[in-house]
Chains A and B, each alone.
Chain A
Amino acid sequence: MSALGTVALALAGLALFALGAALGHAGARRQQENPAGPGTPVERATFHTLHTASLAAPPLRAGLTADTARKAARRLRPLLGTVALALTDEESVLAWDGVGDHHRDEAEAQLAQALRTGRTQTFALSCGNDTCPVRWGVVAPLTVDGQRPGTLAAFGDQESAVIVRAAEEVARWVSVQLELVELDRARSGVIEAEIRALRAQISPHFIYNSLASIASFVRTDPERARELLLEFADFTRYSFRRGGDFTTLAEELRSIEQYLELARARFGRRLEVTLRIAPEVLPVTLPFLCLQPLVENALKHGLEESVDRGRITIIAEDEGTEARVVIEDNGVGMDPQRLRDILRGRGGPSAGIGLSNVDTRLRQVYGDEHGLVIETGVGAGTKITVRVPKFRSGVRPAHPAT
């Protein structure tokens, strides 16, 4: 076979592959969009409605803004079957889907009353354009926790009780979605509170021990004591900083080094620390205080609960699109079942919130596949692996004024 023929064959194969991939992708998507499965027409209509509603839900879960309203309104209008649909906040139209955009101002004039009374309002619209199908509208307020952050408005060519009813139902559904937003906020509020607790938790115990060991150097080795005090100052400045959910691996490791330096002042030769950090991964962004609790954990189990030499190894490696951080100790280890309970938040008050807090935050930011991987057993030491993607949309380090 000639070279040209081979090339043509290879190209044809490649084109076929691309075509197959595209068709498969499109097919999968179509199936997703039109779940025309088995069932009676009524059942299929129900499926369709539920599916459309489920498509409108994700944008709404980000709160009510012009952008999310635009995306949601596009999905909601087919549910109502009206010529136009609008989502508004308390004063103005956020998104208008369908025809008759020039009635915006008229519709906005109707908002105040619906919001004040909390009742659905219908109203007629005047239009100089004979062909304009928007003659009549209904405004249904959205209710979230007793507040009314906006309305849903639907428009048609004549008054229709069916549409009024449907608009009310859809408005109620949208309200539920928006209430879930509040729930999400509350949940992240809880996590923020936990981070604050985490900071508060490190401090008293650790501050006492650190100051005590620094004090022991003041007379014998004033220079060392001074160094340690500066480490201590830097460490607390980092740990107590306000704001900013993310930091860089370099910063987090720096704080860990300071922490370990202070610990070494206390434990002396009993603590052996090995760090193996690939410089390529230092700029990686990761959640604030997500490694330090792990090191603290290793120190606690590696040293404080045994009399032998404690060895802690910290490795950060480059893994293509991810960075892998491993924190290992040769301490007493832990019963895997107990560990499972701790990670599920059922460890009881003595367990502390460090591990489960870190795990939750990693999962929340990067997805479930990026949770902590812990290998341990009673008396077998502990090895904790964290995988952090080098880039994730919306994750960027903040460096607030300290």
Chain B
Amino acid sequence: MNQTYGIAGVTAVVLATVLVGALGLRISRTTSDFYVASRSVPPRLNAFAVSGEYLSAASFLGVAGLVLAQGVDMLWFPIGYTAGFLVLLAFVAAPLRRSGAYTLPDFAEARLESRAVRRIASVLVVGVGWLYLLPQLRGAGLTLRLLTGAPSWFGGLVVAAVVTVAVASGGMRSITFVQAFQYWLKLTALLVPAVFLLLTWRADHTPAPSWDERPVFQRSTPVRFDSPLTLTVHEPVRITATGTVDGRALDGGPHTLEAGSHRIGADTTLRFPPGARVPLPDEGGGHAAPSSWANPLSAGREDHGLYATYGLILATFLGTMGLPHVVVRFYTNPDGRAARRTTVVVLGLLGAFYLLIPLYGVLGRLYAPDLLLTGDTDAAVLVLPKRLIGGVGGDLLGALVAGGACAAFLSTVSGLTMSVAGVLAQDVLPTLGIRHFRLATLPAIAVPTAANAVVSDLPVADAVGLAFAVSASSFCPLLLLGIWWRGLTAPGAVAGLLLGGGSALTAVTVTIAGGARSGPLHTLLAWPAVWSVPVGFAAMVLISLATRDRVPASAAATMARLHLPEALTGGAVVRDAHPDRAV
């Protein structure tokens, strides 16, 4: 088995992370050889760090899984994840940096001079952070389960414990070097196996995925069912089975599944022959949309494909700017100009990364269609190297991918936990005192860990989409209007945050809890951005107009500070370094 390699890969990533962090701290310098001004984090390095922290388990595992299961519609996810930074670049990056805010509540307070807005923004930051942590922990559980066979919730718990200890002991801070390293690790972990996968695929006479039909097993494939499942078979297929099928105990012998429904017992392994169509489970509605895999908007997603797509686009395009761990990174830039340059580089880096993702999705459709049966589509990226390449090479590449996945959730989880804990310590639980920042780490990660243990069947990328939706309906109006409209007032911001963010948060909670399983109501709640973003904007604008006399007295001065280059308003390190000095 590849367990040993996989565990070694994950351990190596954890060790390397700790090591880079420790070395970054150890670099001590004497006065003679450097100047502070030249040492501030250059935009490119900060961009690596932003990308490293941003590319989460949802990007690494989830998107490929969704493409495998639901087709090309899901490519909107990587597009949205990247395009969010375009919106950030155009409207937010530089002014946000110039505001001097470290977190989103800081921005709210700096712009509106209101403690109330600050407090509500804090609660929303914690909500978004928890929502975003949930799928990361799921990704962690999935990866560790594939490596060691431990139950899913256990992996989440392990990662939560590791991150808590590391953050609380001050070891794994969101150090720029560590996060930058994680980006390159993730890119490598996808790029190198991708090259080998493509070579193998060529050697396999470049089979094309069966675009419009149910996927076909390319090779003889064993499928293991841990829990009972009912399958619908459309044409008779001869399999070998170990375990229980239709109530009959089978012991590795051949067996014919006739057309119709079959009940597969727990702990059963079926081996399908090459060329057999993949039967699909009866439950898990969303996965059973095989006929339209390659056709966008063809009823692939519930019955409201167009609506869902717009929901996804709005949420990801506008939600990125409200992610707590992304915003915090921009503080590291010395000025607004550097913040913009960072964002441009981030766009390139994310683009490069997301080019690889659909490849894994399509290859997964081709070579790992059994994941549709078990519902583990998020595992596509992890199992492909072993499936296609096999042997020691496959195991090594598998270990590399596992290490990359580990980097993905470690970096995002630690960054998010830091941000959420910071906000918790500062605004939500001020009685703890500022020095007890580390205590706040516990609730910051315990809540999503607990939620992860109870919520079982939410695809990783979908859950991230929900976090984006909440962020898009609350912080996007706050940031865009706060930066570009001087008429925004504190009551308006409160109303917008509560109505937009609150309604999205409610919809998302209901979705995660499994409130509405199907029908138009489910679609409305699962893709709330389409209505909640306009609600947030409208509430902010209308209430602000109604309370026009409450525009903060300093609004004009604040706006000037947000939009004028630092050299004019003061703030940046403007210094004519002596041109002829040897530096």
**Do A and B come together as binding partners?**
yes
Interface set, chain A 304-328, CB cutoff 8 A to B? 318-322
Assembled-state Cα–Cα distance A107/B488 (Å): 32
Q: Which residues of A contact B110 (CB under 8 A)?
A: 391, 393
CB pair A273–B422 under 8 Å, yes or no, is no
Assembled-state Cα–Cα distance A38/B331 (Å): 51
CB pair B36–A250 under 8 Å, yes or no, is yes
CB pair A276–B509 under 8 Å, yes or no, is no
CB pair B513–A399 under 8 Å, yes or no, is no
A3 contacts chain B at the CB level, 8 A cutoff: yes
How would residues 108 to 146 of chain A score, 1 for a CB under 8 Å from any chain B CB and 0 otherwise? 000000000000000000000000000000000000000
B1 contacts chain A at the CB level, 8 A cutoff: no
CB pair B102–A321 under 8 Å, yes or no, is yes
Q: Which residues of A contact B102 (CB under 8 A)?
A: 321, 390-391
Assembled-state Cα–Cα distance A400/B173 (Å): 34
How would residues 11 to 23 of chain A score, 1 for a CB under 8 Å from any chain B CB and 0 otherwise? 1000000000000
CB pair A396–B571 under 8 Å, yes or no, is yes
Interface set, chain A 385-401, CB cutoff 8 A to B? 387, 389-391, 393, 395-400
CB pair A250–B573 under 8 Å, yes or no, is yes
CB pair A369–B435 under 8 Å, yes or no, is yes
How would residues 254 to 295 of chain A score, 1 for a CB under 8 Å from any chain B CB and 0 otherwise? 100100110010000000111111111011010000000000
Assembled-state Cα–Cα distance A3/B227 (Å): 14
CB pair B31–A397 under 8 Å, yes or no, is no
CB pair B31–A275 under 8 Å, yes or no, is yes
Please tell me which one of the listed residues A66, A257, A322 contacts residue B35 in the complex, with CB atoms under 8 A apart: A257
Shortest distance in angstroms between A369's beta carbon and chain B's nearest beta carbon?
6
- Interface size of A in residues (CB-CB distance below 8 Å): 51
B202 contacts chain A at the CB level, 8 A cutoff: no
B120 contacts chain A at the CB level, 8 A cutoff: no
CB pair A248–B573 under 8 Å, yes or no, is yes
Assembled-state Cα–Cα distance A321/B109 (Å): 15
B213-221, B281-289, B402-410, B448-456: which lies at the A interface?
A: B448-456
Please tell me which one of the listed residues B109, B173, B570 contacts residue A398 in the complex, with CB atoms under 8 A apart: B570
Shortest distance in angstroms between A331's beta carbon and chain B's nearest beta carbon?
18
Interface centre among A253, A280, A389, A393 (most CB of B within 10 A): A280
- Interface size of B in residues (CB-CB distance below 8 Å): 59
CB pair A399–B454 under 8 Å, yes or no, is no
Q: Which residues of B contact A162 (CB under 8 A)?
A: none
A380 contacts chain B at the CB level, 8 A cutoff: no
Q: Which residues of A contact B31 (CB under 8 A)?
A: 257, 260-261, 264, 273, 275
Assembled-state Cα–Cα distance A201/B157 (Å): 57
How would residues 511 to 543 of chain B score, 1 for a CB under 8 Å from any chain A CB and 0 otherwise? 011100000000000000000000000000000
CB pair B332–A279 under 8 Å, yes or no, is yes
CB pair B553–A67 under 8 Å, yes or no, is yes
Q: Which residues of A contact B169 (CB under 8 A)?
A: none
How would residues 546 to 583 of chain B score, 1 for a CB under 8 Å from any chain A CB and 0 otherwise? 00000001000000010000100011111000100100
- Nearest-neighbor residue (CB-CB) of A227 within chain B: B581
Q: Which residues of A contact B100 (CB under 8 A)?
A: 285, 391, 395-397
CB pair B553–A230 under 8 Å, yes or no, is no
CB pair A250–B422 under 8 Å, yes or no, is no
User: A275-B31, A278-B175, A396-B571 are known contacts. Are A250 and B40 too (CB-CB below 8 A)?
Assistant: yes
Interface set, chain B 409-433, CB cutoff 8 A to A? 418, 421-422, 425-426, 433
Chain B residues with CB under 8 Å of chain A are: 25, 27-32, 35-37, 39-41, 100-103, 106, 109-110, 113, 170, 173-176, 331-334, 418, 421-422, 425-426, 433-435, 437, 450-451, 454-457, 509, 512-514, 553, 561, 566, 570-574, 578, 581
18 contacts between A and B (CB under 8 A): A3-B514, A7-B512, A250-B573, A254-B35, A261-B31, A279-B40, A282-B39, A282-B334, A283-B333, A320-B437, A321-B102, A321-B425, A369-B433, A387-B434, A391-B100, A391-B106, A399-B572, A400-B570
